[in-house]
Amino acid sequence: MNDKVINDFTITVGTANGSGSQTSNLTILRALFKMGIPITGKNMFPSNIQGLPTWYTLRLSKDGYTARRDEHEVIVAMNAKSFERDLEDVQPGGVFFYDNSIKMPIERDDITAYPMAVKQIIKEAGIPSSLKTMVANMVYVGILAQMLGIEMEKIKMALDFHFKGKEKPVSINMNVIEASAKWAAENLEKTDKFYVEPMDKTDGLIMADGNTAAALGAIYGGVQIVGWYPITPATSLVEKMSYYLPQLRRDIDGKNTYAIVQAEDELAALGITIGGAWSGARAMTSTSGAGISLMGEYVGLAYFSEVPLVIWNIQRMGPSTGLPTRTSQGDLKQAMSLSHGDTKHIVLLPASARECFEFGWKAFDVAERMQTPVFVLSDLDIGQNQWASEPFEYPDAPMDRGKLLWEDDFDEFVAKHGDWGRYKDVDGDGIPYRTVAGNRKEGSSYFARGTGHDAFANYSEDPDIWMEGMNRLALKHNTARQYVPDAIIDNVEGAKIGIIAYGSVDPAVVEARDLLTAEGLKTNYLRLRALPITDTVKDFLRENDKIFVIEMNHDGQLREILTVEMPEESTKLVSSTLNNGLSLTAKWIRDDILAKKEK
Amino acid sequence: MAATNKIGLSKSDYKGAPTTLCQGCGHNSILSQIIAACYETDMLPEDIVKFSGIGCSSKAPTYMLDRSFGFNGLHGRMPALATGALIGDPTLTGLAMSGDGDSISIGMGQFKHVIRRNVPMVYIIANNGTYGLTKGQLSATSEVGLTLKKHGTNELEPIDVCLEAMASNATFVARAFAGNPKQVKTLIKAALHHNGTAILDIISPCVTFNNADDSLHSYAWGRENKTPIHDLSFIPARDEIMIEDFEEGTTQDVIMHDGSKVRLQKLERDYDPTDRIAAVQIIEEARANHLLLTGLMYISPDRPSLMDTLNLPEKPINRLTPDELRPSADTLETINAAMF
């Protein structure tokens, strides 16, 4: 027998969509997490409610890597429709667990195959027929537990958590799991080399998905009005808000300090958001793909009338409907300039669930400080998959409501400055002072509009006034550089090659740098966290001889943006992109950089 | 000294910038009546918030209520803006001005959904059966046979604003003719006191592009063919004791949410504006008979508005302080502990 492989392999489970396998997969994930093993769970699912093949991948990494891998050492095949493909996907030397009611040939001698008597185990466990399909997936939980060494006590903890301590479902599922483990002990002889063993690498960590984190971050950021429309993969963000808001944001009289409105489409969703923000509430929307495109016209209005709000884009794949259940970073350029006629937006780029929480509240501060829409670009990978993470960190700064004038502030302002104009640049930073609908002070009102306007919000078609307004907006956008989250840099002594990446590419870059170091190539790394870029980014471009810009879109959108920002450094930039709907792997990044290094 | 109302404001306190609409435009007449209605019902301009979309109708809010906040939004998407802003401060009175292009073509979706949500606001559709600001194209409310210079003759059936509002379960549906200022004003007063979306379809002739004497949206046609279903008066709650009762049997009072009344003095037919089926029927009949039927077609004063369903605090949420909006640090510890 080969040497044992402990806590460093990937388990993939193939099931049929809608068969209830998510509970089983999360149970394994949580049990391994509770055993202290660094683990990441990714769902590969079709755009379908029931029937099509779906996969759940659990990456165990004793070294703490969380990126996707292409290799599957352990595959569980529960679905006849994907059986052949699943069999083919097992790494040489790997393990193949399969439901023995699937009568298909297994013509591979380089792997270990274990049959699972799913029907028999369920039958003998005396499960009511109405529950059979749901608990059938617990069979592989029990068999994997037995064959890999997952602790039963941790599985019980995971089920208790999942079913919120409800006795009955926990015991039904636990019975099946125990029966399955027993069956495996009696009927299967372990001949493979894959084992799990307890570690202490998850102490103090939490397990979370980015959409839940974003929802919570927004709640701690004081979100008040949410206009939204369902779209994959953004829906769960607002659903989580609906779950947490009643617990966290009711006043002493039991009244809501917030409102969520499901609109008739994304345009209306953003319209509600803009209206709310214009009245001074903290307002946001969350969408993806086609929803962002539909919002384009309203984004322009918010930009030009200078309404502060937050738009989360949980990016999905491709133009039009594309691949709604696959991930991508294809919306960067769109977010930067969405809408017609010289618009420029602030874009925040979270790379983890924890950062989704942080940007959840921070985005409101940036938006209100800058009086403009702020995009937060997450993606399906961050948003919907399960990540081990440092706990969410309570906001380390008080809310920044920006230059907002209520009645008393308005009096003070006028006493100091003589008059007030909604779009008058008093401080020279391009950011005017705003009043909001509901301010009852006579003279504080103004007529917001998408048409040309002067510093006092009066309609104007005057060319000079138009230019003045646009120049101030450009100045304001420049001012934003000092308010957006700065890039994070990890420089290595002696490295001349740089890597720039953002968002969900980060875990693969982190791992790829270790692989490159092993190949003798040291790299510096800049993780971009916002647009417009800051001086940190400019310096990084200057300091490195060659810079790989790694992203999940077809044409290298960030590279293009950097080229425009710093044309004098642009020849150093090398685009490294892959956009096939799957998150990047460290190996792909390593190979691409090695291949392009000398060119 | 200029006359003042009960809150000490003169009519000029309700004015806006000078109109840039065409001379004789029905919309100007509507604006005058909005100003008169607000003045006469002693509304503080700061308590009103104006909304509009795009088009001639939507330019109009600039020309009234200068002291009120206003938002001139996107073509056909004004209702969403209004919804958000009014959630921010539900103590504001929403006053929206739209047109047939803005609400019945590009904005039909938002028109119907704001009604469905029953967002409390006055929603005026200044309906001239044409696109004025783009210089005279056919609209979705143009009548069959309308001939416009560059576009020939309309052969498509028009959409009836009131019928669409009824189909969406509107709680206040009225139609008026801009050339009848008294009725327009009374309906606006009633609409201002309605706790829900008050749809006012005001036939407003376009003197430049759609005012041929035989056009349904013209002054001449309107004057000849308008058929009121009742005479209306509006009695604010506090004025009630000062108004003498009409003769029993010829009037019907509708009590509004805030205790004020719309008093309907019946004309030829006995019409109950709280009867939904009857409302649909008279709208359909008028349509079949090519009558410009005016008055309060339908009212349901007690249906909850969106604000009633949101469980909002008394203090407008846009005035909540950071302390009231950011949960305490210990709550996050509890959440982190359960994240697994």
CA A477 vs. chain centroid, Å, equals 25
Question: Is pLDDT at A255 greater than 70 in this prediction?
Answer: yes
Q: What average pLDDT does this structure show over B1-22?
A: 93
Partner residue facing B85 (CB), from A222, A261, A276: A276
Residue A133: the pLDDT is 81
**CATH fold of the domain at A208-389:** Rossmann fold (3.40.50)
- Cα–Cα distances (Å) from A264 to A227, A258, B201, B307, in that order, read 10, 19, 23, 18
Q: Which structural domain, as residue segments, surrounds residue B200?
A: 11-231+269-309
Q: Do A442 and B77 make contact, defined as CB atoms within 8 angstroms?
A: no
Provide the shortest C-alpha distance from residue A593 to chain B (in Å).
Answer: 36
For the cut 60, the answer to whether the pLDDT of residue B244 exceeds it is no
Q: Report yes or no: A404 at the B interface, CB cutoff 8 Å.
A: no
**Contact at CB, B320 and A224, closer than 8 angstroms:** yes
When CB atoms are compared, the residue of B61, B72, B109 closest to A265 is B109
Closest-CA distance, A223 to chain B, in angstroms, reads 8
ipTM of the predicted structure? 0.95
Least confident of A387-396, B23-32, B205-214: B205-214
Is residue B76 in some structural domain? yes
pLDDT of B103 over the 80 cut:
yes
Considering the domain boundaries, does residue B1 fall inside one?
no
State mean pLDDT over B302-331: 97
* Closest chain B C-alpha to A127 CA, distance in angstroms: 28
Mean pLDDT of A306-318: 97
Chain B: give the shortest CA distance to residue A536, in Å. Answer: 31
Comparing A155 with B211, the larger pLDDT belongs to: A155
Q: In this complex, which of A222, A255, A447 lies closest to B322 when CB atoms are compared? A: A222
Q: CB distance from A442 to chain B under 8 Å? A: yes
Instruction: Please indicate if any CB of chain B lies within 8 Å of the CB of A437.
Output: yes
A441 reaches B (C-beta below 8 A): yes
> Per-residue pLDDT averaged across B55-74, rounded?
95
- Give the gap in angstroms from C-alpha A537 to the nearest C-alpha of chain B: 33
- How confident is the model at residue B249, as a pLDDT? 54
Claim: this prediction has a pTM higher than 0.90: yes
Between chains, do A395 and B327 touch, taking CB under 8 Å as contact? no
Domains A208-389 and A488-596 share a fold: yes
Helix (H, G, I), strand (E, B), or coil: what is residue A63? coil
Closest chain B C-alpha to A281 CA, distance in angstroms: 5
pLDDT, tens digit (0-9, with 9 covering 90-100), for B137-154: 999 999 999 988 888 899
Set of chain B residues whose Cβ sits within 8 Å of the Cβ of A208: 339
- The answer to whether residue A29 scores a pLDDT higher than 90 is yes
Beta strands in A150-282 (DSSP E): 194-195, 206-208, 225-228, 259-262
Q: What is the pLDDT of residue B247?
A: 52
- Predicted confidence (pLDDT) at residue A174 exceeds the cutoff of 50: yes
Residue A236 to residue A249: CA distance in whole angstroms: 19
Q: Examine the pLDDT at A598 and tell me if it is beyond 50.
A: yes
What value does the CA radius of gyration of chain A take, rounded to a whole number of Å?
A: 27
Give me the residue spans of the domains in chain A: 5-203, 208-389, 407-482, 488-596
Q: What is the pLDDT at residue A573? A: 98
State the CATH number of the domain containing residue B48: 3.40.50.970
Instruction: Tell me the average pLDDT across A408-427.
Output: 98
HSE (side-chain half, CA atoms, 13 Å) at B116: 13
Decide if B295 is inside a domain. yes
- Region B40-69: mean pLDDT is 95
Which of A203, A447, A460 is the best residue to mutate to test the B interface, defined by the most B CB atoms within 10 Å of its own CB?
A447
pLDDT at B207 over 90: no
Question: What is the band of B80 on the pLDDT scale with cuts at 50, 70, 90?
Answer: very high
pLDDT at A270: 98
Q: What is the pLDDT of residue A392?
A: 98
Question: What is the average per-residue pLDDT within A189-210?
Answer: 97
> Distance between CA B274 and CA B284 in Å, rounded?
17
Q: What is the mean pLDDT of residues A524-553?
A: 98
List, for residues A66-116, the tens digit of each pLDDT value. Answer: 999 999 999 999 999 999 999 999 999 999 999 999 999 999 999 999 999
Average pLDDT, chain B: 92
pLDDT in tens, B253-272: 888 888 888 888 776 667 89
Residue range A190-198: average pLDDT?
97
User: Does A305 touch chain B if contact means CB atoms closer than 8 Å?
Assistant: yes
Task: Give the pLDDT of residue B213.
Answer: 85
The model's pLDDT over A462-474, given as tens digits with 9 standing for 90+, comes to: 999 999 999 999 9
Contact A75, A352 (CB under 8 A): no
H helices present in A126-193, as ranges: 132-136, 138-144, 152-162, 167-187
Cβ separation of A440 and B46 shorter than 8 Å? yes
Lowest mean pLDDT among A218-222, A544-548, B38-42, B130-134: B130-134
Q: Is residue B338 situated within a structural domain?
A: no
- B329 in a structural domain: no
How does residue A2 score in pLDDT terms, banded at 50, 70 and 90? Answer: low
> Which residue type does A515 have?
L
User: Is the confidence at residue A172, as pLDDT, over 50?
Assistant: yes
What residues of A are in contact with residue B332 (Cβ under 8 Å)? 216, 220, 392, 394
Nearest Cα of chain B lies from the Cα of A248 at a distance, in angstroms, of 6
Helix axes A266-278, B108-117, angle to 10 degrees: 60
Give the model's pLDDT for residue B228: 87
What are the pLDDT digits (tens) for A477-497? 999 999 999 999 999 999 999
Model confidence at B85, in pLDDT bands (50, 70, 90)? very high
Taking residue A126's Cβ as centre, other Cβ atoms within 10 Å add up to: 8
Question: Lowest mean pLDDT: which of A39-53, A250-264, A310-324, A358-372?
Answer: A39-53
The answer to whether A229 contacts chain B (CB < 8 Å) is: no
Interface membership of A165 toward B (CB under 8 Å):
no
pLDDT of residue A432: 98
Q: What is the mean pLDDT of residues B234-261?
A: 70
Q: Which CATH number fits domain A488-596: 3.40.50.920, 3.40.50.1820, 2.60.120.620, 3.30.470.20?
A: 3.40.50.920
Rounded-to-10 torsion of CA A206, A208, A210, A211: -130
Contact call for residues A420 and A413 (beta carbons, < 8 A): yes
Q: Which CATH architecture has domain A5-203?
A: 3-Layer(aba) Sandwich (3.40)
The predicted structure's pLDDT at residue A118: 96
Contact between residue B72 and residue B102 where contact means Cβ atoms under 8 Å apart:
no
Check if A594 contacts B (Cβ < 8 Å). no
Q: Which of B13, B71, B309, B312 to mutate to test the interface with A (most CBs of A within 10 A)?
A: B71
Q: Does A104 touch chain B (CB under 8 A)?
A: no
* Burial (CB count within 10 angstroms: exposed 0-12, middle 13-18, buried 19+), residue A186: exposed
For residue range B107-125, what is the model confidence (pLDDT) as tens digits?
999 999 999 999 999 999 9
Q: Which residues of A touch B314 (CB under 8 A)?
A: 255
Asked whether the beta carbons of residue A391 and residue B79 sit closer than 8 angstroms, the reply is no
Tell me which of A590 and B289 has the higher pLDDT.
A590
pLDDT, tens digit, 9 for 90 and up, residues A364-395: 999 999 999 999 999 999 999 999 999 999 99
| Closest of A393, A98, A453 to residue A216, by C-alpha | A393
Residue B240 above 90 pLDDT?
Answer: no
The secondary structure of A365-403 as a DSSP string is HHHHHHTSEEEEEEEHHHHHSBEEEPPPPPPSS-----S
Domain tally, chain B: 1
Q: Is the pLDDT of residue B239 over 80?
A: no
Residue B246 predicted with pLDDT over 50: no
pLDDT band at A561 (very low <50, low <70, confident <90, very high): very high
Among A18-32, A344-358, B222-236, name the one with the lowest average pLDDT: B222-236
Question: What interhelical angle do B108-117 and B78-88 show, nearest 10?
Answer: 30
Q: What is the pLDDT of residue A126?
A: 86
- Asked if B313 lies within 8 A of A439 by C-beta distance, the reply is no
- The predicted model gives B148-168 an average pLDDT of 93
How many Cβ pairs within 8 Å bridge chains A and B? 218
Q: Which of B234, B253, B251, B255 is nearest to B189 (CA)?
A: B234
